[in-house]
Amino acid sequence: MLDLTGYDSLGAALRDALARFAGEVCLIEADREKEKERLTYLDFQRRAHPLARGLQDSGFAAGHRASIIMTNQSKWLISAYAIFFRGGVLVPLDYKLTPPEHWQLLKHSGATVLITEYHIWRQLAADPGRAGSAVGIILVTEAPPSADLHGALRWEEFRGAADPDLIPRQRTDTACIVYSSGTGGRPKGCMMAHECYLSQCVALTSLYPFWPGVRYLSILPTNHAVDFMVGFIGPFTCGAAVVHLRTLRPEFVREAFTRYKITYVTLVPAVLKNLQKGLQERFAALPPAKRALLNAMIALNKLLTRGRPRLWISRRLLPQVHKAFGGELLAIVVGGAFSEPQNLQFFYDLGIPVANGYGLTEACTVITVNDLKPFRADTVGKPLPGVEVRIVNPGQDGIGEVAARGRTIMSGYLNEPELTAETIVDGWLMTGDIGRLDSSGHLQLFGRKKNMIVTEEGKNIYPEDIENVFAGLPVKEFCVFAANFVWPRRSMTGEQLVLVVHPDSGGPSEEDLLREINARNSRLLNYKRIHGVVFWKEDFPLTASLKIKRNVLAEQLARLERESAVRSL
Amino acid sequence: MRTLEQTTQEVLTLAAQHFNVLIGSLSPADDFFKKLGINSLQALELLTRLENHFGIELPDYEVQGVSDFRTLAERIQSRL
């Protein structure tokens, strides 16, 4: 791997990686059964440098912001590299957001360049949210030859002939603005310095190394902090290969493991659970004798891997299981949300180490990670080298708010000094999560202090971000809460959102309101939906500027019994 | 050539079979996430079954943000 301590920017580090690993494969792109593309680092450079030159010729320079809204594919990484090469700030956005949400964040970020895919651009171009945006250059990939591009340019044709000039950056300069929320409420654009990524990459690869020949299967969207690190910066600075799939159908994902002999993959807990279910069904369908043998092998494997993983033993004891994962899998990284311990243990017992951890966008990628010495499914691992974790105001049981400090923490939220001051206190990132450090230094999580939920699919949902859809509801007032914020529960899974409504006297009946709420709820993407409604008969506590005092209202609601107060939808 | 109505009915039938619910219990306006209690991963599984049945390819992005059977059927119809 490159010695990243000697670099000040991602652009310079990646430039040298492309030269150093020129002959190694860096990207494989597959679409269903077909392999669409296989690029070496040299091929990558030959595609990226003309793009960087194109950006240079159009005036794109240090500190300019460029957004990428794309599914996981080679052009995502090529574009990101070109942006870093030119000293730009990358604004990666989730391609699954709606066009109004995209435009809102594009405006907030101040992006002047947008790089996207044709099918996404079709929707963005038609959305009125475009008015007032600073985006001047729009590059669209894979547009059909006769397509009307509505002022955009073709990515494939946007190239400069001369060699581009690398613009040096300092470690403290912002490399990315990553949105952790704010599509409906207050945008939280985390400003991540080059330092964050360079430091985190060194720390992470010391535990989970990459090298030429390693193949990382990139499934989580690359705009997500985890995939950006382990599906781009990590493998690229070590000469490894990244495999992209253009469809995420479970059957093609399964096939990719064997076809490409995957070494690492990152999955969200929902996918891991699905995999477990599939395997358990296959095990249950085995004839009794084979099943008994399998169980005996699993028991033996558990015994032999109690202290640490021993992959060569596990692969011999359980060859069929390992073959289904390609036979070369070193670990499954689980990210995006909290995983249930029994789910993690299931895979570890089969001899497939699971690198579970805990992190926030605000902390670059992870704060803690399981070092597998030994594997502890009941914890989220130990602090990453270089990251300090402490528990603020712990109770007698040692449980309190988790705070983290280190070089990987963001510099702040874009244009939000007050929010930044509330979140980073004396250099410590206040995570809003509740946990405890055990005697061996492993972090255990017990719940959240903050008013938000994280779904099993790794989506962070903030109540303020979905309240828009209920605007104009025929009630006196309403507010959305994470149920566990109102009624604290020591759990990181099965989190739900509830809508609290204060009906208008003389307004619609509760049943009519429920119908209306249901109709509006179904306009939200399925993972953003509320799960229940609380009918509240009192006025909401308001600030002098007539905003709802959410904390006070939550305290009042907490006096109700959760089960009887919440009407499920 | 199927009509949209026929396509919709076939989508409902296949979804009911795939998720093991009564065929008559699903209607075009139903939100499949809610009605079938499935997540986005399971919805993707259904797509493969629909593709095989209709003999078409549906890129993942075509069903991005779609949650009711009628819209799903319209997307399929446009590719028949």
- Domains located in chain A, CATH noted: 4-260 (3.40.50.980), 460-568 (3.30.300.30)
Report whether the peptide linkage leading into residue A374 is cis, meaning its omega lies within 30 degrees of zero. yes
Alpha-carbon distance of B62 to A320, in angstroms, equals 35
Give SS3 for A199: helix
Query: A6 at the B interface (CB within 8 A)?
Result: no
Classify residue A453 by its DSSP letter: E
Residue type, A524: L
- For A72-86, A549-563, B54-68, which range has the lowest pLDDT when averaged over its residues? B54-68
Residue type, A408: T
Query: What is the predicted pLDDT for the residue at A175?
Result: 98
Q: Is A184's pLDDT higher than 80?
A: no
Query: What is the predicted pLDDT for the residue at A522?
Result: 86
Please list, in sequence order, all residues whose beta carbon lies within 8 angstroms of the beta carbon of residue A374, skipping any fewer than 6 positions away: A306, A307, A308
Which residue among B41, B62, B64 sits closest to A96, beta carbon to beta carbon?
B64
Alpha-carbon distance of A22 to A38, in angstroms, equals 13
Query: B50 at the A interface (CB within 8 A)?
Result: no
Give SS3 for A351: coil
Average pLDDT over residues A335-343: 88
Q: With pLDDT > 90 as the criterion, what percentage of chain A qualifies?
A: 81
**Which residue from A528, A524, A467 is spatially nearest to A500, judged by alpha carbons?**
A467
Please list, in sequence order, all residues whose beta carbon lies within 8 angstroms of the beta carbon of residue A544, skipping any fewer than 6 positions away: none
Q: With pLDDT > 70 as the criterion, what percentage of chain A qualifies?
A: 99
Q: How many residues does chain B have?
A: 80
Q: What is the CATH number of domain B4-77?
A: 1.10.1200.10
Residues of B whose CB is below 8 A from A98: 65
Q: How many helices (H) and strands (E) does chain A have?
A: 20, 28
* Tens digits of residue pLDDT in A412-460: 999 999 999 999 999 999 999 999 999 999 999 998 888 888 888 778 8
Average pLDDT, chain B: 88
Alpha-carbon distance of A203 to A404, in angstroms, equals 15
Query: B47 at the A interface (CB within 8 A)?
Result: yes
Query: What is the predicted pLDDT for the residue at A533?
Result: 95
A218 pairs with which residues across the strands?
Answer: A244
Q: Is A253's pLDDT higher than 70?
A: yes
pTM for this model (two decimals): 0.88
Q: Is A81's pLDDT higher than 70?
A: yes
* Tens digits of residue pLDDT in A371-400: 999 999 999 999 999 999 999 999 999 999
Of A274 and A263, more confident: A263
Alpha-carbon distance of A228 to A335, in angstroms, equals 12
> Sorting pLDDT into bands at 50, 70 and 90, what band is B28?
very high
Alpha-carbon distance of A333 to A327, in angstroms, equals 16
> Quick one: CA torsion of B16, B20, B25, B29, rounded to 10 degrees?
-40
Alpha-carbon distance of A154 to A117, in angstroms, equals 10
Q: Is B37's pLDDT higher than 90?
A: no
Which two tokens mark A448?
A: 């959240």
- Nearest Cα of chain A lies from the Cα of B44 at a distance, in angstroms, of 6
**Which residue from A378, A379, A376, A315 is spatially nearest to A350, judged by alpha carbons?**
A315
Q: Is B42's pLDDT higher than 90?
A: no
- Nearest Cα of chain A lies from the Cα of B77 at a distance, in angstroms, of 18
Residue in the block written with tokens 């006769």 = A146
Q: Is A221's pLDDT higher than 60?
A: yes
**Which residue from A259, A258, A190 is spatially nearest to A225, judged by alpha carbons?**
A190
Q: Is A183's pLDDT higher than 60?
A: no
Alpha-carbon distance of A228 to A81, in angstroms, equals 12
Phi, psi of A65 (to 5 degrees): -105, 135
Residues of B whose CB is below 8 A from A101: none
Q: Hey, where are the domains in chain B?
A: 4-77
Query: What is the predicted pLDDT for the residue at B60?
Result: 82
- Nearest Cα of chain B lies from the Cα of A458 at a distance, in angstroms, of 12
Q: Do A246 and B40 touch (CB under 8 A)?
A: no
